[in-house]
Amino acid sequence: MSKSDTQKPSIENLLHENRKFKPQKKSFSHYFLQDMSHYLKLYKNSIKNPESFWTRMASEHLDFFKKWKKVFAWKDCKAQWFLGATLNVSYNCLDRHVQSDRKNKAALIWEGEPGETRTLTYLQLSLEVAKCANMLKGIGLHKGDKIAIYMPLIPEAVIAMLACTRIGVVHTVVFGGFSSSSLRDRILDSNCKALITADGGFRKGSAVKMKEMADEALKETPSIKNVIVVKRTHEKVKMFPKRDIWWHELAENYSDSCVAEQLAAEHPLFILYTSGTTGKPKGLMHTTAGYLLGVTLTTKYLFDIKETDIFWCTADVGWVTGHSYLVYGPLSCGATVFMYEGAPIYPEPDRFWKMIAKHKVTILYTAPTAIRSFIRLGKELPKKHDLSSLRLLGTVGEPINPEAWIWYYEVIGNKKCPIVDTWWQTETGAVMIAPFSGVTPTKPGSATLPMFGIEPIILNKDGTPAKKKDGGFLCIKKPWPYMARTIYGDHERYKKTYWQEIEGVYFTGDGARQDKDGYFWIMGRVDDVINVSGHRLGTMEIESAAVEHPLVAECAVVGRPDAIKGQGIVAFITLKKSANINPMLKEEIAKFIIKQIGALARPDEIRFSDSLPKTRSGKIMRRLLRELATTGDIKGDTTTLEDFSVLEKLREKDED
């Protein structure tokens, strides 16, 4: 394929896409669904009688200690599902498999970046989880307490998460690539009592100093009483007596038997932070039964998990994708999970393909941005390896441009694997719109049709249905069991952001259109959130970080299309009068932003400007900046601009 294909903004490509791929009955048979009419029949029924549908699903797919008395209640935008029921997530992910034929089946196959591997069977994983749960109890954690997990992608991260769920401790996993300030803010917001971390993790051949980052964060987090540290890199770290304990030393004192707590269906399961339109990330809270039902069902139905599958979701546990499809979904289904610690192209650019061939991965679930970087490296790399074990390919995180879709389908899937493009969000907990693999005909760039029980609609801002050809705001008509229940500590913000933006429906923040077949085409965010390499960042979040710099007076951040990352970050900055522009200042500001948020927030471009375009009421006109950053010029409506000379200055080429 030509380079220019990948470089066209994906949204533009999506508008002209009309290829359709029929399911290949010969090479693929869905374990449950026969064909599209079967899907449509079940789907219609799930929408018509949601409570009986979810009741049947919960009874068939999950193990409860106590059944519910009421399926659903809704008050003050607070949903409750399966009221009166008790269950345990780790019981569903472990015990029920240990008690079955899966006892000695591999639950987790892990490969570290240096190349070592570790396999844990369901029995072995359950013993490790029980021991870790006892360790957490031992350091004084109780049901309902919060704990932060800041770890590399090693088995202990999964063990720690499951251990929390075993005793009802609420985890908040913070992505290992986030800076110490981000970690600190999340710990403070959710009031965590303990932290589990590691000395470090391996990335691109070097040891990332996670403990050092954690120590920096913990200087300002009085709520943290203990830190459990996994020895991974064996680099020297500072251990604070009384506060810090090595995982392996603590483990020696505890037994590997721990009964799973019987938790209420609505017991908080985890808090996960994600970016919104304001500077402060929001802690979305998910609860036990509904979330587990969502990830279990979608893993079974959309990814068609079978007993012999090896499922590789390449996301980090620090993102919702890692929670739902690296840990909870596949383990609840009793599948074998493959997990890799490090960078995808280290030490050689074909590391991904080498591991798929070595471990015989059958399902690969990754992000469009990764696919686009592989395209750039050339198809010779995957072709060097035997990828014939693959039978299904998933994507998530951002709209996939049709050319990347086709490449994934042809080069990686050898035209025999269905492509499962999954649309969902941290807030939705699990997949909402995606093809049923091998059943739903696919169209490159479209996430296709909704999951059972989910009713997406496209509306105008006033709540009226949008015209099909124009598209509009993607909303979900009714609450569903696996949605986030609240923003931790700020239910008002939850209500306002999701249920009151368009009264009475869930507002996703995405624009979308529907084609004549009813397929959904996601057009990207309609708010001040940008999507960089499938990671969600608030423009305000980056702006607030930048203005903390002593020389920055004002900053406006916009996204612009990027051939590999989906969107890139452009920061327009006005400096304080006292600033002395030196050639290093841009790099210094970039580093300053990274220090506060993490490397993923590095601006692709910083532009200095004497002033920023504003309306008469003083609002920065980001729309104009977005246009300038994207096309190099401003042709849009400028009538509300306060000072026209700003435009000329902005257009002037930035020399340094």
Name the minimum Å distance from CB 368 to ligand WT7.
Answer: 8
Among 396, 411, 487, 505, binds ligand WT7 (CB under 6 A): 396
Judged by CB under 6 A, does residue 23 bind ligand WT7? no
Judged by CB under 6 A, does residue 398 bind ligand WT7? yes
Has 27 been labeled as part of a binding site? Answer: no
- Our CB check for ligand WT7 shows the closer of 95 and 510 to be 510
Strand partners of residue 567: 561
Q: Which residue has the tokens 């589990």?
A: 196
How many helices (H) and strands (E) the chain has is answered by: 23, 30
Name the minimum Å distance from CB 515 to ligand WT7.
Answer: 15
Judged by CB under 6 A, does residue 426 bind ligand WT7? yes
Judged by CB under 6 A, does residue 525 bind ligand WT7? yes
Has 247 been labeled as part of a binding site? Answer: no
Q: Which residue has the tokens 């991260």?
A: 157
The answer to whether residues 654 and 628 touch, using CB atoms and an 8 Å cutoff, is: no
Has 180 been labeled as part of a binding site? Answer: no
Judged by CB under 6 A, does residue 450 bind ligand WT7? no
The answer to whether residues 182 and 594 touch, using CB atoms and an 8 Å cutoff, is: no
- Any alpha helices (H) in 8-167, and if so which ranges? 10-15, 36-48, 50-61, 89-90, 96-98, 122-138, 155-167
Name the minimum Å distance from CB 531 to ligand WT7.
Answer: 6
Name the minimum Å distance from CB 314 to ligand WT7.
Answer: 12
> Mask 240-269, x = binds ligand WT7 (CB under 6 A)?
------------------------------
The answer to whether residues 23 and 439 touch, using CB atoms and an 8 Å cutoff, is: yes
Site for ligand WT7 in 462-521 (CB under 6 A): 508-510
The answer to whether residues 492 and 278 touch, using CB atoms and an 8 Å cutoff, is: no
What's the chain's length in residues?
656
Judged by CB under 6 A, does residue 321 bind ligand WT7? yes
Name the minimum Å distance from CB 590 to ligand WT7.
Answer: 22
Angle between helices 180-190 and 210-218 (to 10 degrees): 50
* Among 4, 9, 152, CA closest to 565: 9
3-state secondary structure of 478: coil
* Among 137, 320, 308, CA closest to 226: 137
- Our CB check for ligand WT7 shows the closer of 131 and 186 to be 186
- Our CB check for ligand WT7 shows the closer of 148 and 320 to be 320
Judged by CB under 6 A, does residue 399 bind ligand WT7? yes
The CA distance from 585 to 593, in Å, is: 12
Strand partners of residue 147: 171, 194
518 backbone dihedrals φ, ψ, rounded to 5°: 85, 5
Has 439 been labeled as part of a binding site? Answer: no
> Mask 529-558, x = binds ligand WT7 (CB under 6 A)?
--x----x----------------------
Binding residues for ATP: 397-399, 421-426, 510, 525, 536
Q: Which residues bind ligand WT7 (CB under 6 A)?
A: 274, 320-321, 396-399, 421-426, 447, 508-510, 522, 524-525, 531, 536
Q: What residue numbers does the annotated binding site for Mg(2+) cover?
A: 547, 549, 552
Binding site members: 203-206, 321, 397-399, 421-426, 510, 525, 533, 536, 547, 549, 552
